[in-house]
Structure 1
Amino acid sequence: MASYPNTMKRIIPFLIILGLTVSTTQAQRLAETDDELDKKVLAISLSGPQMAILEMKRDLNLSEEQLKQVELLHQERYQLMTEAELRQEDPIELQRTYREIQIQLDKVMAGILNDKQLKQFLELEGRQHVNMLTGKEEE
């Protein structure tokens, strides 16, 4: 029985070294994968409106005509939001202005998209419960 503690003293450091080696190897593999992804993401230079348009085109299956209209609408939206940020100092008023811009966008989008696309658009925006006719959210 006296050899049991001595054996454990030898095995524990070996297990610790083995564990560190395995975790280090895994971390190095992840870094390589992340580096490749980072390179791809950094290679794409898109603005906020462009990224939103790409996502909408893919997820909503927009026609070419719809895509043109949505692109113009989103450019206008981001311009209005930028102007509002410059004019509004009060955060509450800025949020109200953002909300008004969003309501206007929703009403125009309702005229561009079909019902299925509109529903998907609102889900993408995280606003599934918006009533397009009144501009008020359903309770």
Structure 2
Amino acid sequence: MKKSLLILVMVLMGTAGYAQRLGSADDGLDLVVLSMELDGPAMASMEMKQELDLTDEQYLMVDKLNKSRYQQLQQVEASFSHDALSRAREFRSVQRQNDESLRSVLTAQQLLKYQKLEGRLDAHLITEHEE
């Protein structure tokens, strides 16, 4: 019994040690972001430029969209701070508007990659069917 417990502890320690050495694919971007003083929209735009390989023209448009989206999200947060259901609906509405705007800026491949970045793999990219 003691041997089994000792082996289990050693395996768990080895697994934890190995996980500590694993690097993330965007460690370089993280270092750049941490070395700068960026606000939310600028950080989102920088990540999108890096991850989606945006052209300079696309970057300028995406940067404007991100600034607008963050401003809208702040307004929603302030307006619906005591009503979680309404706040969630408004957040989805802002997301739908942003998706529609991005649709005219990004290529289909970039849209799919954006969806993965946002963690919406199981959702429709353009969420016009949500209510």
Task: Tell me the TM-score normalized by structure 2.
Answer: 0.68
Letter aligned with residue 36 of structure 2 = I
CA offsets, 1:28-79, max 9 Å, x none?
Answer: xxxxxxxxxxx97654211111111111101100011110110000000000
Judging by fraction of residues, say which structure has more helix.
1
Tell me, in whole angstroms, the C-alpha distance in 1 between the residues paired with 2:125 and 2:62.
Answer: 17
Structure 1 unaligned blocks of 5 or more: 1-38
Q: Partner residue of 2:117?
A: 124
Query: Please, what is the CA RMSD of the aligned residues?
Result: 2.1
Letter aligned with residue 62 of structure 2 = V
Q: Partner residue of 1:45?
A: 37
Tell me, in whole angstroms, the C-alpha distance in 1 between the residues paired with 2:99 and 2:69.
Answer: 11
Instruction: Kindly report structure 1 stretches of 4+ aligned residues shifted beyond 3 Å.
Output: 39-43
Q: Partner residue of 2:78?
A: 86
Higher CA-based Rg: 1
> Which structure is richer in relative contact order (CA contacts within 8 A, separation 6 or more)?
2
CA shift for structure 1 position 135: 2.0
Task: Tell me the TM-score normalized by structure 1.
Answer: 0.64
Tell me, in whole angstroms, the C-alpha distance in 1 between the residues paired with 2:109 and 2:51.
Answer: 11
CA shift for structure 1 position 136: 3.3
Structure 2 unaligned blocks of 5 or more: 1-30
Q: Partner residue of 1:23?
A: none
Tell me, in whole angstroms, the C-alpha distance in 1 between the residues paired with 2:34 and 2:40.
Answer: 15
Q: Confirm whether residue 77 of structure 1 aligns to residue 56 of structure 2.
A: no
Identity %, equivalent residues:
35
